[in-house]
A and B are shown apart, each in its own frame.
Chain A
Amino acid sequence: MTWGPLAEIAVFTALAALGATLLMLPPGLAIAWALARGRFPGRTVLETLVSLPLVIPPVATGLLILWLFGPRGPAGRALAWIGVDVVFTWRAVVVAMAVMGLPLLVRTARAGFEQVARRYEQVAETLGAGPWRVFATITLPLSYRAILAGALLAFSRALGEFGATMVVAGSIPGRTRTLAVGIYSFTETGQDQEAAALLAVSVAIAFCAVLASNRLARTAAVR
């Protein structure tokens, strides 16, 4: 057993999960804000759609992503036109992780936005602040803990993503193999030592993430 490829898998997984979290932050916060504050037609539909990846089988989500981003899918064609290849590349790993983590970010951030008293925002508005300034100077600073907790949850979910990743990115050594997929592949091919090593790495990372998230929740409760 050589450690190089295993370390590579761990680093790749962490970077991909980080990339996925950054990728989903802008749309995730926009959706969370719209759900918390907005009154518009189709709100409940949006709410339901965003939660779907939580409840439908990850493999089914993966298949949907594959249809969208595959060479024959609408998004895949558009990206191929500008020369970007998605399926079975690292980009597919990031997309799968982002889609699967998004509901957790949206739900947590939305709860945070809802806890910000409407009055503060209204006061800011009477003082002449536009909606963007209200969001940046009032809503965001008052809810950043919830956003951080949501991002951490989504990041942890992304680290362990298996079903969707397997379908859209496969398990290409040194390219798309993540911790979860690696454990599965090594078990399937009888490389038990490698699987056990990745298992230990997963436990260590998950331990740190949960510890951090609990601390965050505790300090938030004290305030």
Chain B
Amino acid sequence: MGSILRGPAAFDSARATEAGPHRRDVGGRVRHATANPTPGAGRPVGVGLRALSTVEGSRPWVRVVALFAVLVCVPTVVHGQAGEVVVSAASSLTDVMQQVADAWEARTAQRVALNTGPSNTLARQIAAGAPVDVFLSADEAQMDRVASAIAPGSRVDLLRNQLAIVAPVDRPFTLGSARDLATAPIRRLALGDPAAVPAGVYARRYLEGLGIWRAIEPRVVPMGSVRLALAAVEQGAVDAGIVYVTDIRRAERVRTVLVVPADRGPRIVYPAAALRGGPNPDAARRFLTFLQSPEAAAIFIDEGFLLPRP
């Protein structure tokens, strides 16, 4: 449930801070005090501006609100403090990376700021100049998109994963083989958006390989991330979904209908890289090395991820 709130909620809060009505209020008041000491007298003043100035003149709490707005805004601008490593990781890595971050913090006393989301969104953030130290993408295409931001020679294939077809516990259909998906009683199938979200791109590639994508496409519900697709299945809002095997572990009211073996499905690779534009380039390199350590590998394997073939 936490995951379903993440994408759109973040979007809304970003919009809210951008709109920032308080900042405009403060600006209006200051300009008024210097340019026109006797508001309302002399030259005509816009009704809106006059109303604004009277509210501010009579209500000291407006200043308190403005101060509060400043206090809230400043920490969000000054992110990536010293001694912190900023990590952007694919949605499907949310739980496992929290554990890896805990292990890193226990070992180095250095905090990890973990930013999780669909890899395509994370790649866009990085391309737009977001100060990120390490990027873990769920597919190669999204890592390719930020190629120019990668610290030279730091890109590695970190993990592999597998797809699984899942369904709500109260939808009792079975599949003899994955091809039966086309004829199964499924009105809606949740995927990550097959236009960009890695899990959706992999799922489409898989269904295309089986020759049933055209039959299934009209029933596809594209979701913002693989975890949102899983949430739709958990809520019973769709009849089935295709997610990663590793996503299912903590899911509730979801049953695994079919696991796609790694050698039958698309090649699912998670590349990782240190980025040049991050606030903490040295820590980025060290964190990337830690991700490839036996200690981190044990955590990844424990959560069901596969290591890349040597």
A-B contact count (CB 8 A): 77
The 6 closest A-B pairs by CB, nearest first: A189-B196, A189-B195, A166-B8, A87-B237, A71-B236, A59-B9
A193 → chain B closest CB, angstroms? 14
Nearest-neighbor residue (CB-CB) of B7 within chain A: A166
* Interfacial chain A residues near B188, Cβ < 8 Å: 88
Residues in B148-181 with C-beta less than 8 Å from chain A: 170
Q: Are B221 and A170 in contact (CB under 8 A)?
A: yes
Q: Are A59 and B222 in contact (CB under 8 A)?
A: no
A184 to B121, CA, bound (A): 11
Cα–Cα distance between A88 and B187 once the two chains are bound (Å): 10
- Is the beta-carbon distance between B8 and A170 smaller than 8 angstroms? no
Which residue in chain B gives the minimum CB-CB distance to A69?
A: B237
CA distance A70 to B188 in the complex (A): 13
Contact status B4-A191, CB under 8 Å: no
Q: Decide: B11 and A190 in contact? CB cutoff 8 A.
A: no
- Counting chain B CB atoms within 10 Å of each CB, the highest count among A63, A173, A189 belongs to A189
Chain B neighbourhood of A67, CB < 8 A? 235
**Which of the four size classes fits the interface of chain B?**
20 to 34
Point out the residues of chain A lying under 8 angstroms from B9, CB to CB. Answer: 57, 59, 163
Chain B residues near A187 (CB, 8 Å)? 124
Interface of chain B residues 1 through 47 with chain A (CB within 8 A): 1, 4-5, 7-9, 11-12
A171 interface hit (Cβ, 8 Å):
yes
B222 touches A172 (CB 8 A): yes
Residues of B within 8 A of A59 (CB): 4-5, 8-9, 12
Contacts of A103 in B (CB 8 A): none
Contact partners of A171 in chain B: CB under 8 A: 193, 222, 224
- On chain A, the residues within 8 Å of B248 by CB distance are none
A58 within 8 A of B: yes
Does B223 belong to the interface (CB within 8 Å)?
Answer: yes
CB distance from B233 to the nearest CB of A (A): 12
Closest B residue to A181 by CB, please name it.
B8
Determine the chain A residues whose CB is within 8 A of the CB of B238 once the complex forms: 88
Closest residue of chain A to B10, judged by CB? A59
Docked CA distance A26–B9 (Å): 31
A sample of 17 cross-chain residue pairs with beta-carbon separation below 8 angstroms, ordered by A number, consists of: A58-B8, A59-B5, A59-B8, A60-B5, A66-B235, A72-B170, A85-B187, A88-B221, A88-B238, A162-B12, A163-B12, A170-B222, A185-B193, A185-B224, A188-B121, A188-B193, A189-B120
> In the bound complex, what is the Cα–Cα distance between A71 and B222 (angstroms)?
19
Decide yes or no whether B118 CB sits under 8 A from chain A.
yes
Chain B residue, CB-CB nearest to A63: B4
A167 in contact (CB, < 8 A): yes
Q: Are A188 and B120 neighbours in the complex by a CB distance under 8 Å?
A: yes
Contact mask A51-63 → B, CB, 8 Å, 1/0? 0000001111001
Q: Are A70 and B237 CB-contacts (below 8 A) given A170-B221, A170-B223, A188-B196? A: yes
Once A57-B9, A172-B222, A190-B120 are accepted as A-B contacts, the answer to whether A71 and B237 lie under 8 Å apart by CB is yes
Contacts of B204-253 to chain A: CB distance below 8 A: 220-224, 232, 235-238
**Contact A70 to B222, CB < 8 A, known contacts A185-B193, A188-B193, A190-B120:** no
Please name the residue on chain B nearest to A72 by beta carbon: B236
- Bound together, the chains give a CA A138 to CA B121 distance in angstroms of 55
Interfacial chain B residues near A188, Cβ < 8 Å: 118, 120-121, 124, 193, 196-197, 224
Given A58-B12, A163-B8, A170-B223: A88 in contact with B195 (beta carbons within 8 A): no
A172 / chain B contacts, CB cutoff of 8 Å: 220-222
14 further contact pairs, Cβ within 8 A, besides A63-B4, A188-B193: A57-B9, A58-B8, A59-B5, A59-B12, A71-B236, A72-B170, A167-B4, A170-B221, A171-B222, A172-B222, A184-B11, A185-B193, A190-B120, A190-B145
Residues of A within 8 A of B118 (CB): 188
Q: Which of A59-95 contact B (CB under 8 A)?
A: 59-60, 63, 66-67, 70-72, 85, 87-88
The chain B residue with its CB closest to the CB of A166 is B8
B138 smallest CB distance to A (angstroms): 14
Closest chain-A Cβ to B168's Cβ sits at a distance in Å of 8
Q: In angstroms, how far is the closest chain A Cβ from the Cβ of B14?
A: 11
Return A195 CB to nearest CB of chain B, in Å.
12
Q: Which residues of A contact B221 (CB under 8 A)?
A: 88, 170, 172
Given A63-B4, A170-B223, A70-B236 contact (CB < 8 Å)? yes
Q: Which residues of A contact B224 (CB under 8 A)?
A: 166, 171, 185, 188
Residue interface bits B65-90, CB-to-A below 8 A is 1, else 0: 00000000000000000000000000
Q: Which residues of A contact B236 (CB under 8 A)?
A: 70-72
Candidates A71, A88, A190; contact of B124 at CB < 8 Å = A190
Q: In whole angstroms, what is the CA distance A72 to B124 when docked?
A: 36
